Structure 1
Amino acid sequence: MDPTGGSPEAGAVRPGGPEAGTDEVDRIVAAWRRVAPELDVEPLEVLSRVARLAHHLDRLRRSAFAAHELETWEFDVLAALRRAGEPHELSPGQLVVQTLVTSGTMTNRVDRLARRGLVQRRPAPDDGRSVLVRLTDAGAAVVDAALADLVRAEHRMLAVLPAAERRALAALLRRVAAPFEAPPGT
């Protein structure tokens, strides 16, 4: 419900909306403060916005990837291989760590990408029992094109902030995320 007592559709532009400094999270927080004044709901002011932004970002990314006939998980695997640098290959275990999935899930994903000709498996030179997953030329072309579209869309998404504010926001989010991103074994 908005401050005027109406009930506009979520996301609709209205007086007192984002351009005036309020948003749906402000209304949600105000409602919680009204019905549960004993609770300190301050974290909602940040984390509800992060969650809502993550939803919008997910839709933006899915759209950018779909234009290249990729699912988000396919982009994640191809991007990990591309970032590895020449010869654009990693072990399945390295892919598991970078994409935060199980080894069984990664096996399935590599199988599916290999059937599409976007990756190939080859025996590891130092261990004949192990394999490496290598990005093919077709895989590199599709991930590069998808990344270019994604970055353009993400620039548009962040265009409401000047460069200095984007850098400050990145630094703050890094601090909040750091405890969850610690390397394994630390």
Structure 2
Amino acid sequence: MPVTNLMHDIIINTVDEVLKKEDKNEIAGVNRDEIIAYVLNRVPPKYVTSERGLLYGILDAKYKIQQQVDILLLIYEAIQKIFHRRDSNTAIKEVATPGKTSYLPHIIGQVIEETTLSVIPDVEVSLMRGGSRAVMVDSDWENPSRTKLSTRGHYHFWPQFIESEMKNTPSVPFTITFQHP
């Protein structure tokens, strides 16, 4: 059995139960995967490598009431945060195609001042391809991105692989542009 995070399955099952019981109108636009990621990032993982470890972990988790309460609280906290965030495109977000296998790598960078290495906030960073902004993998990825102090000046792009244009080329040229007021 490969290394498995037991909490992953426990959280997925709990999220599914909560979403079944909630009023559909109150949680419209809340993405299940976003809730799962939110909760998984806030609970300690429990890794198992055997069937016996898996069974022990499931039984152990079943009888830890405090852990169940913590997971439920995190699920409802995730629903509230996702529902009330400023992003209004959650209802129209594309769902990733399961059969898609070609992806371009993430492009991550940081905008800092050359001499002091301090963060430069409010820089508009754009990923360009062929004279226009590159298309991102889904609507959650912004292009252009704006640097912030809270992200320590980092920007992050994940461009979409456009099979008809990129499949038969050995490299895909991109350009990064920076604009600062």
**Coarse TM-score class (shorter-chain normalised):** under 0.3
Structure holding more strand per residue: 2
**How high is the TM-score relative to the length of structure 1?**
0.25
**How high is the TM-score relative to the length of structure 2?**
0.25
